[in-house]
Amino acid sequence: MTVATALTAVRPLPGGPVGSVLGGEPGAAESAETYLRSGGYGEAASPGRLLEAVDRSGLRGRGGAGFPAAVKLRSVRDGGGVPVVVANGEEGEPGSVKDRWLLRARPHLVLDGLSRAAEITGAGQGYVYLSDPYAATQVRRALRERPPRIPVEVIETAHTYVAGEETSVVRRINGGPALPAAKPPRPYERGVAGQPTLVANVETLARIALIAAHPDLSDTIARTTLLTLSSWRDAPVLLEAPYGVPLRDLAAGQGSGDAYGALMGGLFGGLVGSGALDLPLDPVELAAAGTSLGCGAVRFLAPGGCPVAVAHDAVDHLAAESARQCGVCVSGTAALRDTLRQLATGAAGPDAAMCLDRWAGGLPGRGACGLLDAAAGTAGSLLRAFPDSVQDHLSAACPVCAGCPTTGGHRLVVPVPDVAGIRPDPAPVH
């Protein structure tokens, strides 16, 4: 069974649905009635006290950067003008499905969180930004079932890796292309229609709604996260796990108990070797170890696969998804991709590793967004985590890599789990 054809399982947080993003009725799209019965849209603390609760909980954004949610909320609230709030559901990472699943299965939880963020910041307009037509249908249904306190508009965009970057979101909502813009200003300073704008990942908003409904569980809610776990060999899994769980235990739960490493954080955390699997699921500890939790997508390296092939797939995808606005990104991702392809196919020259190392150190920070950083970081992490494998590929062709055609990274794609009434993705959508 391959990642492209396997139906992803959905596993809730152990101990029941209270305080869990994967709560509700398993396998069913949540209705307003169901959400109200669970305590959703209820009376909560004042906006100021809710912000304090979010701050005390230590909730971090779930879009990839892991920025403290309370700091972002305050910056928008204190930015002057009439703020705008955006639920960002444009999931660019090929190995992540959590945001699209949330919008399809629990749209009211996301909209409740968007309303809470609007109350905290004083926003007068909200948007739900996405590219998944099934999710758009569910969100519009939810808006009809229970209109929010502020106007909320659904904005659809074409799916690309960079379309979910926060300045891309603002440009698209403002009527332009979904492409990254130069910074500053950041959206919290001047965003949609020139107003301070909160661009928040949909899981972040869902957790704000849960904190509002279950303030006594704030710490648990903030220190729990959605994960998309996959490998080349075993069926992918969407689950909810608390911080502190060893990565090795997560690998075993996904079916890759014999994993010898992982591609972390979607395409942004880089490759790690077997020793890193003893690290706990914790953004701070993972960052200290030189990797990242990112959007919660982890692809385990199982026997029979090859880390060079995975690195090539990742950089191949990023090169194909470049916005082509920055010359250094176009040339840099192409050079990384071509060298990794030569390495994978046994055609690399003796200086390939040296070139990859130079680019890995010199390219980060030179593009308008994080895409070039991710590509360079992946190449550098391959050299650090699997130097012996790189040397083996310089010596002889790899039979595993030889059997992996160039696909623009499609082998990394995970299908969105089934929700009753909404068919699962039949094939990769990236």
CA dihedral for 22, 27, 30, 34, sign (positive or negative): negative
pLDDT of residue 66: 84
């698209």: which residue's tokens?
172
> What does the pLDDT read at residue 349?
87
Half-sphere exposure of 27 (CA within 13 A, CB side): 3
Residues 198 and 188 sit within 8 Å (Cβ to Cβ): yes
Cα gap 276→66, rounded to integer Å: 20
User: Per-residue confidence of the chain (430 residues) as pLDDT tens digits?
Assistant: 222 233 466 776 665 566 788 876 656 788 999 999 888 998 877 999 999 999 999 999 999 888 999 999 999 999 989 999 999 999 989 999 999 999 999 999 999 999 999 999 999 999 999 999 999 999 999 999 999 989 999 999 999 999 999 999 999 999 999 999 888 899 999 999 999 999 999 999 999 999 999 999 999 999 999 999 999 888 899 999 999 999 999 999 999 999 999 999 988 899 999 999 999 999 999 999 999 999 999 999 999 999 999 999 999 999 988 888 888 899 999 999 999 999 988 888 889 999 999 999 999 888 878 889 999 999 999 999 999 999 999 988 888 887 666 666 678 888 888 776 565 554 443 3
For 376, how many CA atoms within 13 A lie in the half-sphere containing its CB?
Answer: 22
**pLDDT of amino acid 5:** 31
- Which residues, other chains included, contact 115 with Cβ-Cβ below 8 Å and sequence gap of 6+? 41, 126, 148, 149, 150
Q: pTM for the whole thing?
A: 0.92
